[in-house]
């Protein structure tokens, strides 16, 4: 047992929306008060839309656009300073110094020659959002009487040097976490650390991919054999559809790890897809709860599949393009053609959302925003004819029933339909009058 001296611990993750201003940060402190005396690793994202801002800052730096760079940095600085002014009665010198220092690092980057590897530069800058948020929040929690310590996730999470999408070195990470994070709980109840970031063996900061803070929570839980992970969100739990696009969504009370992985594979954006697997491996339950109603049940993701079928869930991906590929000589599409087709698509970096074949045709569906039809046609022009149809949507329904199918395809033309026992997928086109 890892926690012989004080039992087990929990991992909480607070995303950008849950720390977007000073009252949100106060709310986080309130939630932690409900768990007084427990050992909790708190993983925090950058505040509000900070990560997007930092991405713009990298772009301005790359363009050598000093004016925009300065204006964006000033804005971000004012944003964080205002939150601190609201949170701290008196000037909290340690927090202010830490924040000043991070902004100095940010400003100084403009004067360095822009590195050849833009992803490297991206990670050095974009990671600062989480460093800012955790400095402010851990200082505030301490002031509120929580025994809190700030922990640097670059000392805990080791990745390779694939910047912008670091791959975790699990063995080393587990070692670092056992050596550094777990002992720190002896004298603290709460350790606040950054989501989304890690470091290479040489000590350069990396990021784990956008929205990667959930993944950080999963990594920490796996490596500490945590009792549970809770992701605090602005929705009551995992819903059966995206509430931004559908009314009358239903909360899923309990689903299996498998189901959560399937849903995120098909494009549900509630949980970062890499998060669930490590938790499943160790049977660590994952709670999704509302930071606005922390007492409410939320969703629990766990081993049992018993409840998965109770409610149909659906995921809609808009702006899809359907390519239909056939041989110029009208020969059958056989295995060697398929492997040739995949090779060509891979060379273009096309990500296939769905595929289907018939005797003479091979069809694939992709995101239009990431796929240029002209390039696809060009790539195939020697031996194949390619046609395409855009403005489509892909609907995936898990545990479908007739009612849900009818509701989602109403008024639309179905171009492709695929069904397995648990999943129906429809490619739909708005009917034109
Ligand atoms: N701050 C990062 C992002 O917005 C990571 C996260 O929030 O999970 O992508
Ligand atoms: Mg975020």
Rounded to the nearest whole angstrom, what is the distance from the C-alpha of residue 390 to the centroid of ligand 1?
31
Find residue 325's DSSP bridge partners: 362, 386
Would you call 271 helix, strand, or coil by DSSP? coil
Which residues are CB-neighbours of 107 under 8 A, at least 6 positions away?
A: 73
Please say whether the beta carbons of 72 and 57 come within 8 A.
Answer: yes
The number of C-alpha atoms within 13 Å of 374 and in the hemisphere containing its C-beta is: 0
Would you call 27 helix, strand, or coil by DSSP? helix
Counting Cβ atoms within 10 Å, is residue 87 exposed (0-12), middle (13-18) or buried (19+)?
Answer: buried
Q: Is 198 in the pocket of ligand 1 (CB under 6 A)?
A: no
| Pocket residue to mutate for ligand 1, from 15, 48, 165, most atoms within 8 A of Cβ | 15
**Residue recorded with tokens 């039809």:** 373
Rounded to the nearest whole angstrom, what is the distance from the C-alpha of residue 333 to the centroid of ligand 2?
44
The arrangement of strands across the sheet holding 412-419 comes to 354-357, 362-367, 313-327, 384-398, 423-430, 412-419
| Pocket residue to mutate for ligand 1, from 12, 13, 19, 45, most atoms within 8 A of Cβ | 45
Q: Is 48 in the pocket of ligand 1 (CB under 6 A)?
A: no
Sign of CA dihedral 31, 191, 276, 127: positive
Neighbours of 284 (CB within 10 A): 23
Q: Is 218 in the pocket of ligand 1 (CB under 6 A)?
A: no
Rounded to the nearest whole angstrom, what is the distance from the C-alpha of residue 234 to the centroid of ligand 2?
12
How far is Cα 38 from Cα 44, in angstroms, rounded to an integer?
18
Please say whether the beta carbons of 301 and 276 come within 8 A.
Answer: yes
Q: Is 211 in the pocket of ligand 1 (CB under 6 A)?
A: yes
pTM: 0.91
Rounded to the nearest whole angstrom, what is the distance from the C-alpha of residue 243 to the centroid of ligand 2?
18
In 203-358, which residue ranges form alpha helices assigned H by DSSP? Answer: 213-224, 257-265, 276-282, 335-348
Rounded to the nearest whole angstrom, what is the distance from the C-alpha of residue 53 to the centroid of ligand 2?
11
Q: Is 15 in the pocket of ligand 1 (CB under 6 A)?
A: yes
Q: Whose CA is nearest to atom 2 of ligand 1?
A: 211
Backbone angles phi, psi at 425, to 5 degrees: -130, 130
Number of residues that this document lists for the chain: 433
Q: Give the chain's radius of gyration (CA, Å).
A: 24
Q: Is 294 in the pocket of ligand 1 (CB under 6 A)?
A: no
Q: Is 354 in the pocket of ligand 1 (CB under 6 A)?
A: no
DSSP notation for 110-172: GGSPPPS-HHHHHHHHHTHHHHHHHHHHHHHHHHTT--EEEE-GGGT-BB-S-TTSPPB-HHH
**Over its length of 433 residues, how does the chain's per-residue pLDDT go in tens digits?**
455 455 689 999 999 999 999 999 999 999 999 999 999 999 999 999 999 999 999 999 999 999 999 999 999 999 999 999 999 988 888 999 999 999 999 999 999 888 999 999 999 999 999 999 999 999 999 999 999 999 999 999 999 999 999 999 999 999 999 999 999 999 999 999 999 999 999 999 999 999 999 999 999 999 999 999 999 999 999 999 998 889 889 999 999 999 999 998 898 877 887 999 999 999 999 999 999 999 999 999 999 999 999 999 999 999 999 999 999 999 999 999 999 999 999 999 999 999 999 999 999 999 999 999 999 999 999 999 999 999 999 999 999 999 999 999 999 999 999 999 999 999 999 987 6
Q: Is 212 in the pocket of ligand 1 (CB under 6 A)?
A: yes
């Amino acid at each position: 047992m890892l926690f012989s001296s004080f039992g087990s611990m929990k991992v909480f993750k607070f995303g950008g929306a849950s720390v977007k201003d000073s009252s949100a940060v106060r709310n986080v402190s309130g939630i932690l008060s409900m768990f007084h005396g427990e050992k909790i690793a708190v993983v925090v994202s950058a505040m509000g839309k900070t990560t997007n801002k930092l991405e713009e800052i990298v772009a301005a730096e790359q363009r050598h656009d000093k004016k925009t760079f300065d204006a964006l940095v000033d804005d971000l600085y004012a944003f964080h300073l205002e939150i601190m002014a609201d949170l701290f009665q008196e000037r909290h010198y340690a927090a202010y110094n830490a924040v000043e220092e991070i902004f100095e690092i940010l400003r100084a980057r403009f004067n360095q020659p822009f590195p050849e590897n833009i992803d490297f530069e991206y990670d050095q800058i974009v990671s600062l959002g989480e460093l800012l948020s955790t400095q402010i929040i851990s200082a505030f929690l301490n002031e509120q009487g929580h025994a809190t310590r700030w922990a640097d996730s670059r000392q805990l999470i080791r990745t390779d040097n694939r910047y912008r999408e670091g791959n975790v070195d699990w063995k080393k990470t587990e070692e670092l976490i056992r050596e550094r994070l777990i002992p720190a709980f002896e004298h603290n109840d709460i350790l606040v650390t950054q989501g989304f970031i890690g470091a290479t063996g040489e000590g350069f900061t990396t990021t784990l991919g956008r929205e990667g803070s959930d993944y950080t929570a999963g990594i920490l839980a796996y490596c500490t054999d945590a009792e549970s992970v809770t992701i605090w969100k602005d929705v009551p739990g995992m819903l059966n559809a995206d509430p931004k696009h559908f009314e009358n969504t239903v909360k899923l009370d309990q689903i299996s790890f498998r189901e959560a992985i399937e849903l995120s594979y098909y494009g549900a954006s509630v949980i970062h897809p890499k998060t669930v697997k490590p938790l499943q491996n160790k049977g660590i339950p994952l709670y999704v709860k509302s930071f606005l109603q922390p007492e409410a049940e939320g969703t629990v993701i766990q081993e049992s599949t018993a409840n998965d079928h109770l409610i149909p869930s659906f995921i809609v991906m808009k702006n899809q393009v359907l390519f239909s590929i056939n041989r110029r000589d009208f020969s059958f599409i056989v295995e060697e053609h398929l492997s040739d087709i995949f090779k060509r698509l891979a060379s273009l970096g096309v990500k296939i959302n769905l595929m289907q074949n018939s005797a003479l045709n091979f069809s694939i569906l992709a995101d239009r925003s990431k796929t240029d039809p002209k390039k696809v046609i060009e790539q195939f022009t020697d031996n194949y004819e390619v046609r395409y149809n855009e403005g489509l949507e892909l609907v995936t329904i898990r545990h479908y029933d007739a009612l849900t199918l009818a509701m989602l395809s109403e008024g639309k033309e179905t171009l492709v339909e695929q069904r397995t026992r648990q999943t129906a997928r429809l490619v739909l086109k708005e009917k034109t009058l």
